[in-house]
Amino acid sequence: MTDYLHIQLPPDQIRGISSIGLAHMGDAVYELLVRERIVLKANRPVSELHLQAVEQVRASYQSQAYAVIEPLLTEEEAAALKRGRNLNSVKPPKNGNVRDYRRATGLESLFGYLYVQGRLERINELFLAIETALEEQQA
């Protein structure tokens, strides 16, 4: 990611952001990473790019990503992950799995939390771990 997307808020301002706000931010950060990796891997028609992105940002995939990174997290990061996962206001779609949706929200909250701290290197490190582990599982 480049510096023009970089923000770094002071800790008191970060504490003022709700978990759902962090998840909202993290959803965008995570999707941008997915799209970036897909585009850099190969030139494809936009319909294929879209299908690949949708596959990787859906709740069931993000739930698997949650499982990959959970053991890699610091105590502080794990707290941000769990805060997002435990949100009571999160309701999955009618055909969605509650566990997957909650874990996906936790993952997005963590990415949002790291983003507002300006910890882009850590975001990329975790995303690479997800990408590596889940690509190996699919192979």
Q: Is residue 27 annotated as part of the catalytic site, yes or no?
A: yes
DSSP for 10-59, please give it: -HHHHHTS-HHHHHHHHHHHHHHHHHHHHHHH----HHHHHHHHHHHHSH
Question: Which residues, 6+ apart, have CB-to-CB distance to 63 below 8 Å?
Answer: 97, 99, 100, 101, 103, 104, 107
For the chain, what is the largest distance between any 2 Cα atoms, rounded to a whole number of angstroms? 44
Q: Which of 3, 12, 27, 100 is catalytic?
A: 27
Task: List, by residue number, the catalytic residues.
Answer: 27
